[in-house]
Chains A and B, each alone.
Chain A
Amino acid sequence: MKLEASGVAMRFGEVNVLEPVELSVREGEFVCIVGPSGCGKSTLLQILAGFIAPTAGRVTADGVAVTRPDRKRIFVFQERGVFPWLTVAENIGFGVEKAKRDAKVKELVPLVGLEGFEKTYPHELSGGMKQRVEVARALAVDPDVLFLDEPFGALDSITRLTMRAELLRIWQAAKKTVLFVTHDVDESVQLADRVIVMSARPGRIRAVVDVDIPRPRDISSPRYLELRDGILAEIGLAHEI
């Protein structure tokens, strides 16, 4: 298993943020964690990445206990994670050793479609472009695992759709294991091999849904709608407004 959580739980004082969680992620798998705000999904992701120590249970990556963040497993924040004082190229090369930096940047800029923006500063970029800079910065250190915490949450709905397609393209090209947190059920069914459905307060896993639709996915197919509605029902949301 690439990544394994056993009995991982989290309390902040008296508040039970996360009930014990069991989770195994295979190498190269694309897993979405979906749930309402406050269900502890971001906390779970930060525990898996080693930023927070859980109050119970343990996380292992390739069988080794995770106690701190590691450059083999990179966390991608919303686009606010880019460094505003660095150019696009400097951001992308941030984690790379000096000798390999230029070559890495040259390789990644086209992958994320930022040709011509190498010397641009983030404040001149759109939200989607900043997000791509962050993904490229993560890929530049050639990690095994990418953690994405609602990476497209702040983007407009059209940009979000293109970014999903791009992420899938990058994932297929770069063969990474991806853990992707979102509150958007559609997003999770479009992207994931497997969707972990969480419920709120205290956060726990309600269901694990295998998305058995071949890619590229037809998001108007009956199977897609069936899976999506199943997850919505699981969270307790009707799909009628």
Chain B
Amino acid sequence: MRNWMVSAIAIAVAIVAWDVAVRLSDHTLIPGPVAVVRALGELASTGRLFRYAIASLFRVTWGFTLAIAVGVPIGLALGWWQRGARIVGPVIQFMRPISPLAWIPLAILWFGVGDASAIFLIFIATVLPLMMTAMQAARGVHRVHAMAARNFGLSGVQILRRVVLPSARADLVAGIRVALGIAWLVVVAAEMIAVNSGLGFQIVDARNAGDRYDLVVAGMLTIGLIGLMLDNAIRRAA
């Protein structure tokens, strides 16, 4: 059997199991697959689905792009110049276990309720993992490759472009995939608190506006699907 057929069957079985479980339970608020599809239709027809998905993607795009623009060059530089890593390393290690969600109050204080807060939270959540990845990747550059490049008279920038980046590429792509996953997790959480639009907001809003759990699960499904698509896109681009 082909791989995609196995996947399709597994998904079909999961949906059927979900449907059966909901029918058997006496819980009335939990929606089954049919109700969720209907809810997706409702979200799509009112235009909210598209608008909220775009809002979330917009924040991820900005936050994540900023994090790459800041984190990757700094990380590569720190990996390359070991002394810098010794200075900055402890700070990074200290910041890392702080959940990005713990920044929400400060984000709102600094940026108010709106896009900037969400973008800031995504940036904060992904810049450190990206920096660490880039640092490790630059450290993984083979010593003899760096020596050979120096021997041929390459400047620092040329060594970065012609030796460090290509040899760090695989590690960087893997790290960027992980960080994008984090960004997508964080945007949903940020939207539940710090903004009034987006897929995360839609989930909270659906619950608050009259226990519409069909809309909640529809939002969850949308988040999952878009996350999958983002990961695929990165893998393909790499």
Q: How far is the CB of A115 from chain B (nearest CB, A)?
A: 24
**In the bound complex, do residue A83 and residue B145 qualify as a contact, i.e. CB atoms below 8 Å apart?**
yes
Given contacts A70-B153, A83-B163, are A75 and B169 in contact (CB under 8 A)?
Answer: no
- Asked if B142 is at the interface (CB within 8 A of a chain A CB), the reply is yes
Nearest B-chain residue to A50, judged by Cβ = B151
**In the bound complex, do residue A95 and residue B166 qualify as a contact, i.e. CB atoms below 8 Å apart?**
no
Nearest A-chain residue to B148, judged by Cβ = A81
Partner of B166, one of A80, A85, A137: A85
CB interface residues, A 59-87, toward B, < 8 Å: 68-71, 73-75, 77, 80-81, 83-86
- Asked if A94 is at the interface (CB within 8 A of a chain B CB), the reply is yes
Cα-based distance from A141 to B147 in the complex (angstroms): 16
- Asked if A224 is at the interface (CB within 8 A of a chain B CB), the reply is no
Q: How far is the CB of A43 from chain B (nearest CB, A)?
A: 14
- Chain B residue numbers with a CB within 8 Å of A86 are 166
- Chain A residue numbers with a CB within 8 Å of B147 are 51, 69, 75, 77
CB interface residues, B 109-152, toward A, < 8 Å: 142, 144-145, 147-148, 150-152
Could you say which interface size class chain A belongs to?
20 to 34
Partner of B153, one of A51, A71, A84: A71
Cα-based distance from A101 to B169 in the complex (angstroms): 25
**In the bound complex, do residue B167 and residue A85 qualify as a contact, i.e. CB atoms below 8 Å apart?**
yes
- Asked if A89 is at the interface (CB within 8 A of a chain B CB), the reply is no
**In the bound complex, do residue B152 and residue A81 qualify as a contact, i.e. CB atoms below 8 Å apart?**
no
Q: How far is the CB of B15 from chain A (nearest CB, A)?
A: 44
- Chain B residue numbers with a CB within 8 Å of A94 are 148, 152, 162
Nearest B-chain residue to A71, judged by Cβ = B153
Given contacts A69-B147, A85-B167, are A80 and B152 in contact (CB under 8 A)?
Answer: no
Cα-based distance from A81 to B143 in the complex (angstroms): 9
**In the bound complex, do residue B142 and residue A75 qualify as a contact, i.e. CB atoms below 8 Å apart?**
no
Could you say which interface size class chain B belongs to?
10 to 19
**In the bound complex, do residue A71 and residue B152 qualify as a contact, i.e. CB atoms below 8 Å apart?**
yes
- Asked if A49 is at the interface (CB within 8 A of a chain B CB), the reply is yes
Cα-based distance from A73 to B167 in the complex (angstroms): 25
- Chain A residue numbers with a CB within 8 Å of B150 are 51, 68-69
Nearest B-chain residue to A69, judged by Cβ = B151
Cα-based distance from A70 to B150 in the complex (angstroms): 8
Q: How far is the CB of B228 from chain A (nearest CB, A)?
A: 29
Cα-based distance from A94 to B166 in the complex (angstroms): 13
Cα-based distance from A203 to B150 in the complex (angstroms): 27
**In the bound complex, do residue B151 and residue A85 qualify as a contact, i.e. CB atoms below 8 Å apart?**
no
Partner of A80, one of B144, B163, B167, B169: B144
- Chain A residue numbers with a CB within 8 Å of B162 are 94
CB interface residues, B 32-48, toward A, < 8 Å: none
- Chain B residue numbers with a CB within 8 Å of A83 are 145, 148, 163, 166-167
- Chain A residue numbers with a CB within 8 Å of B151 are 49, 51, 69-71, 73-75, 95
Contact code string A40-52 (vs B, CB < 8 Å = 1, else 0)? 0000000001010
Nearest A-chain residue to B149, judged by Cβ = A94
Q: How far is the CB of B88 from chain A (nearest CB, A)?
A: 27
Q: How far is the CB of B151 from chain A (nearest CB, A)?
A: 4
Nearest B-chain residue to A96, judged by Cβ = B152
**In the bound complex, do residue A75 and residue B153 qualify as a contact, i.e. CB atoms below 8 Å apart?**
no
Cα-based distance from A110 to B55 in the complex (angstroms): 59
Cα-based distance from A2 to B90 in the complex (angstroms): 48
Nearest A-chain residue to B169, judged by Cβ = A85
Nearest B-chain residue to A137, judged by Cβ = B148
**In the bound complex, do residue B153 and residue A95 qualify as a contact, i.e. CB atoms below 8 Å apart?**
yes
Cα-based distance from A70 to B147 in the complex (angstroms): 11
Nearest A-chain residue to B162, judged by Cβ = A94
- Chain A residue numbers with a CB within 8 Å of B152 are 71, 74, 94-95, 141
Cα-based distance from A84 to B148 in the complex (angstroms): 13
Nearest B-chain residue to A78, judged by Cβ = B144
Apart from A70-B151, A75-B151, A83-B148, what 4 extra A-B contacts exist at CB < 8 Å?
Answer: A68-B150, A69-B150, A77-B148, A83-B163
A and B contact pairs by CB, cutoff 8 A, 14 listed: A51-B147, A68-B150, A70-B153, A74-B152, A75-B151, A77-B144, A77-B147, A80-B144, A81-B148, A83-B163, A83-B167, A86-B166, A94-B162, A141-B152
Q: Which 10 A-B pairs have the closest CB atoms?
A: A95-B152, A85-B166, A69-B151, A71-B153, A77-B144, A81-B144, A69-B150, A75-B151, A71-B152, A81-B148
Contacts from A to B (Cβ < 8 Å)? 49, 51, 68-71, 73-75, 77, 80-81, 83-86, 94-95, 137, 141
